[in-house]
Amino acid sequence: MTLKKTLAALSVATLPLTLAACGGDNSGSDSASGSGDGIVTVNGSEPQNPLIPANTNEVGGGRIVDSIYAGLVYYDGDGEAQNELAESIEPNDDNTEFTVKLKESKFSDGSPVTAKNFVDAWNYAVANDQLNASFFANIKGFEEGVEKMEGLKVVDDHTFTIALNSPEQDFPAQLGYSAFYPLHESALEDMDAFGQMPIGNGPYKLTEWNHNQDATVVPNEEYKGGQTPQNDGIKFVFYASQDAAYADLLSGNLDVLDAVPDSAFDVYEADLGDRAVNQPTAIFQSFTLGENLEHYSGEEGVLRREAISHAINREEITDTIFKGTRTPAKDFTSPVMPGYSEDIKGNEVLKYDPEKAKELWAEADKLNKWDNPTLEIAYNSDGGHKSWVDATTNSIKNTLGIEAVGAPYPDFKSLRDEVTNRTIKTAFRTGWQADYPSQANFLTPLYKTDGSSNDGDYSNPEFDKLLDEALTSTSEEDAIKKYTEAQEVLFKDLPAIPLWYSNATGGYSENVDNVVFSWKSQPVYYNITKK
């Protein structure tokens, strides 16, 4: 999407109904109980953190955050940006300053959403180094811990300006991501407490959050945007396993499932018929071997990661385990992204080549002899990952003759906590579900120095420079060239080992209608109706 096209999209009226976008035990839910009439039950997972937009960068929390907050724009079913709270977003001549004018809107408690709610939220995210703070890095005055960014100015209740350090090709399109949502003024008094039961401004409002069990949102009567709920609410059920969720779907105790377990890939389309979903989406899967781990730093580390990548038979795993619902990766983004290419220089490292793998491993041994540690890949047991992790580690083990096994964590939160806190001592599964339709959204948070989701702490000045050049390009074509060059650097370093792209695989029960999955694989929750 070109900048001109983006800005044109942001100047038109919002399109209706095209997209979405405390107690309990610690085991997660084994089964959903029936919900009230009009409440749609969907699968979910326990959020890692309180429900603060700029501090939420994982899917469990993201599902709920995107339901209870609204931003300047939202993304329709094709990933195009449409106005939400923004009346207009006008650039200056060189796209380094944007004037934002807001529509009249309210939080769920009836208080007005003002320019100050946006500016205060963004400044708080940076001042407190929240997980998504790096999304504000190009705003003038950005610096870790700074209280106020000089590039943000409130003009009046319905107008504010954003000044950037340099032109950014897709900045307007980024503004639908959750990091840019506004916050109610009461959030600033006690952010953690606020995040347990937020006052939002989105299509829904949170009414209940039973930790490790479920959360329920109901329509926000103050919401006047383009994502008006067509149901009486959404109940997110936190399952201990995808198999349990799938069983509930078949029995009618769950209305919508957005991730079919691998145990059901052979049968789910037959089980569900035309209620089965299998479509391309913006999800990239990988695993990360951080340079902080023994044998994975410097030149030795690059050689070992290359060897491991060549030792993985991606074609066999995607065919045998995933039954064609995954596609072997050719890059670090997704085939549905603008400018995607499967011919990037260096991506031959993704080809299964046992002899090359052994040769590279032997070269690494010349630098530092492998002393027989076990290669472990950590994963969350509640996400249906065991089969592919076992297949991947077996492929590595059989090719290189080393011990390789999966390292299961009970749930997503426990794995993410160790990754976020940098206490994990093994390789770990990683991946990305796009927040907005641009290659930058994969490359910046995952691999740029100090990126919000740079879990392996990768840093390469050459990559950072190319990414900055892409972001400051004046055309999409020029930006894509720079993204391609940046990915060539990634293929030399392999900060993560690309595995495959995921399709959206899901389904829905006979109790609901109007179920559509968006470009980023999530059900369009607000559009679902109960029969």
Same domain, 214 and 78: yes
**C-beta separation of 490 from 508 below 8 A:** no
Burial 287-313 (b: 16+ CB within 10 A, else e): bbbbbebebbeeebbbbbbbbbbbbbb
Q: CATH number, domain at 428?
A: 3.10.105.10
**C-beta separation of 231 from 36 below 8 A:** no
Same domain, 489 and 401: yes
The pLDDT of residue 387: 94
Give the largest CA-CA distance in the chain.
68
271 Cα distance to chain centroid: 29
Residue 249 lies in a domain: yes
CA distance 2 to 163: 20
Same domain, 350 and 387: yes
Partner residues linked to 378 by β-bridges: 407, 428
DSSP summary character for residue 104: P
pLDDT tens-digit profile of 428-475? 999 998 888 889 999 999 999 989 899 999 999 999 999 989 988 878
| Residues whose CB falls within 8 Å of the CB of residue 64, separated by 6 or more in sequence, listed in order | 44, 47, 51, 206, 215, 217, 236
Of 270, 218, 32, the closest CA to residue 108 belongs to: 218
HSE (side-chain half, CA atoms, 13 Å) at 14: 24
CA distance 261 to 254: 15
How many domains, the chain?
Answer: 2
**C-beta separation of 236 from 254 below 8 A:** no
Same domain, 245 and 324: no
List of long-range contacts for 199-202, beta carbons under 8 Å, 24+ apart: 199/107, 199/108, 199/109, 200/68, 200/69, 200/70, 200/107, 200/108, 201/69, 201/70, 201/85, 201/105, 201/106, 201/107, 201/108, 201/113, 202/66, 202/67, 202/68, 202/69, 202/70, 202/227
Same domain, 68 and 197: yes
H or E segment to which residue 339 belongs: none
Residue 266 lies in a domain: no
Q: Which two tokens stand for residue 491?
A: 């293929």
CA distance 249 to 472: 46
Cα–Cα separations (whole angstroms), residue 262 to 46, 58, 78, 236, 352 = 21, 21, 27, 21, 22
314 pLDDT band, cuts 50/70/90, is very high
pLDDT tens-digit profile of 32-90? 444 457 999 999 999 999 999 999 989 899 999 999 999 999 987 777 789 999 999 99
Other CB atoms within 10 Å distance of the CB of residue 132 = 22
Same domain, 40 and 174: yes
Same domain, 199 and 285: no
Strand order across the 86-91 sheet: 86-91, 97-102, 159-163, 152-156
CA distance 371 to 300: 13
Same domain, 288 and 431: yes
CA distance 443 to 467: 8
Same domain, 406 and 523: no
pLDDT tens-digit profile of 156-175? 999 999 999 988 878 888 99
Q: CATH number, domain at 91?
A: 3.40.190.10
Same domain, 133 and 215: yes
Residue 214 lies in a domain: yes
16 pLDDT band, cuts 50/70/90, is very low
Structural domain range at position 19? 3-255+509-530
pLDDT tens-digit profile of 369-383? 998 789 999 999 988
CA distance 325 to 335: 14
Task: Give the pairing of strands 39-44 and 97-102.
Answer: unpaired
Same domain, 294 and 234: no
Of 298, 212, 214, 195, the closest CA to residue 253 belongs to: 214
Average pLDDT value over all residues in the chain:
91
